């Protein structure tokens, strides 16, 4: 990977190589780094929100962090850094287009964050990584980030004393490392149903709730 893409010159190039190695290519792969990187990213974003939003309450900051570190958001950054083109993967995973999959890209981004942290420490990691999130941070409504679709749907129904929505898993497909889910969201009053897809059951339910909100024509 070109150093100028991620903004860090690795002292230990082996860390970067491991961060960009999917488990389908064999060990050492990036899953342990991904675990560490997940924690580092959450801390970086929590710290940034805490400092930038001095009057925001815990709920607002929690929702903002969830939006910034969700799989799709991390995958978007990974594409900006062109991580997909640099991933080392097994032949089957590469053939199936794994280097373009959100879940794999998000995991790789977290692994790269961990690699930077281990290579040069927290302060350097923060200086390198936070700029990746700057556009998304700046786009958030200060102190009042948009609630996720499931929360907005639930609050809309509760505000009208109507039954809460029901969620069910309709379909689960794909290999263990590349699962795809289809979830269904149903409301009883009004009687509506909508489906959503995602790389996790949670993401699929969020997509289904968003689709149902569109049917209800509820403004954000």
88 Cβ partners below 8 Å, 6+ apart?
Answer: 17, 20, 21, 22, 25
136 Cβ partners below 8 Å, 6+ apart?
Answer: 67, 68, 73
To the question of whether residue 34 is assigned a binding role by annotation, the answer is: yes
Q: Which residue has the tokens 């690795």?
A: 10
To the question of whether residue 110 is assigned a binding role by annotation, the answer is: yes
Instruction: Reply yes or no on whether 4 is catalytic.
Output: no
Task: Considering the candidates 110, 119, 148, 205, report the single residue annotated as catalytic.
Answer: 110
**φ, ψ for residue 119, nearest 5 deg:** -75, -40
Task: Considering the candidates 38, 67, 93, 148, report the single residue annotated as catalytic.
Answer: 38
Report the C-alpha gap between 131 and 34 in whole angstroms: 20
Q: According to the 3-state scheme, what is the secondary structure of 107-129?
A: HHHHHHHHHHHHHHCHHHHHHHH
Instruction: Reply yes or no on whether 93 is catalytic.
Output: no
Residue numbers in the known binding site are 34, 107, 110
Active site residues: 38, 110
Residue numbers in the known binding site for Mg(2+) are 34, 107, 110
């Amino acid at each position: 990977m070109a150093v100028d893409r991620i903004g860090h010159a690795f002292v230990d190039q082996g860390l970067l190589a491991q961060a960009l190695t999917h488990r389908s290519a064999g060990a050492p792969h990036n899953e342990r780094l991904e675990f560490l990187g997940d924690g580092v990213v959450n801390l970086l974003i929590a710290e940034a929100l805490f400092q930038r939003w001095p009057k925001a309450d815990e709920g607002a900051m929690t929702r903002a962090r969830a939006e910034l570190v969700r799989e799709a958001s991390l995958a978007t950054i990974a594409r900006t850094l062109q991580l997909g083109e640099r991933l080392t993967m097994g032949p089957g995973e590469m053939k199936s287009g794994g280097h373009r999959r959100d879940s794999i890209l998000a995991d790789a981004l977290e692994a790269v964050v961990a690699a930077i942290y281990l290579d040069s420490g927290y302060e350097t990691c923060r200086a390198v990584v936070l700029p990746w999130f700057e556009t998304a941070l700046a786009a958030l409504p200060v102190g009042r980030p948009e609630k996720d679709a499931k929360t907005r749907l639930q609050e809309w129904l509760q505000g009208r004393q109507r039954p809460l929505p029901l969620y069910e898993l309709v379909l689960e497909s794909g290999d263990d490392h590349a699962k795809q889910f289809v979830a269904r969201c149903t409301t009883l009053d009004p009687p509506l149903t909508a489906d959503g897809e995602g790389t996790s059951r949670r993401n699929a339910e969020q997509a289904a709730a968003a689709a149902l909100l569109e049917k209800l024509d509820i403004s954000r």
